[in-house]
Amino acid sequence: MITISAFEWVPDFARGQVRDLRVRWALEEAGLPYRARLLAQGDQDKPEYRALQPFGQVPIFEEDGFVLFETGAIVLHIGERSEALLPKDAQARARAVQWVIAALNSVEPFIMRVVQLDLFLADQEWSKLARPSALALANRRLAGLAAALGDKPFLDGDRFTAGDLLMATVLRIMPDLTAQHANLAAYVARCTARPAFKRALDAQLGDFRKDAA
């Protein structure tokens, strides 16, 4: 059985955003059963967990003694087992991988910089000065993505891939930014309307509700 690590509690603003959602979604798309290993506060810093995830983050993927961390790597690993995420055609497959990497390297860091300034550093004077340039950079990346998407349903045309899964989760981080581009907002809505996403989100939120009970 596949096991993924996840936090049993996070602040309300992070619920539905923690990165184990990406792996849950990929597993749901691939039709692979899994269970969640829920971490109490502080478990991520214990030596036994750090031996599996050196940065103390979630999720990790475990199966029959095989352990993997980083959501991009995990989603691609799952994609190797399911054409629902990675097409068999070599060029289409390469393009899907391209968009996975673009989501995590060319878009997410710029969005997360704005999130950090707004959410964690807002009381710092230097943060207020840094925000306009950070926001401009994020908007520039989103404008490029919007142009690349155009009027296509998904990043590579009519077919949803692992690239769309990662990109949609990145764009969900700051909906107000995404909403400035109508095609990106519609794209996120289209991706997250998928039954597999709904099951993944319900599973993550359900684990948080269990802890509250």
> Distance (Å, rounded) from C-alpha 69 to C-alpha 117?
26
> Distance (Å, rounded) from C-alpha 57 to C-alpha 2?
18
- Contacts of residues 113-119 at CB distance under 8 Å and 24 or more positions apart, as own/partner, are 113/137, 113/138, 114/138, 114/174, 114/177, 115/173, 115/174, 119/13
Full set of structural domains in the chain with CATH: 2-84+196-212 (3.40.30.10), 90-194 (1.20.1050.10)
Average pLDDT in the chain: 95
> Distance (Å, rounded) from C-alpha 165 to C-alpha 178?
15
For residue 120, name the pLDDT band (cuts at 50, 70, 90). Answer: confident
Instruction: Give residue-wise pLDDT tens across range 47-92.
Output: 999 999 999 999 999 999 999 999 999 999 999 999 999 999 999 9
pLDDT of 161 reads 98
Dihedrals φ, ψ of 19, to 5°? -70, -10
* In the predicted structure, residue 213 carries a pLDDT above the cut 60: no
CA angle, 18 as apex, 168 and 151 as ends, to 5°? 5
Percent of the chain with pLDDT over 90: 88
More confident call, 130 vs 120: 130
pTM equals: 0.94
* In the predicted structure, residue 121 carries a pLDDT above the cut 80: no
Three-class SS state of 81 = coil
Instruction: Answer for the pair 135, 142: CB distance below 8 angstroms, yes or no.
Output: no
pLDDT of 113 reads 95
- Contacts of residues 112-118 at CB distance under 8 Å and 24 or more positions apart, as own/partner, are 112/173, 113/137, 113/138, 114/138, 114/174, 114/177, 115/173, 115/174
pLDDT of 210 reads 73
* In the predicted structure, residue 126 carries a pLDDT above the cut 90: no
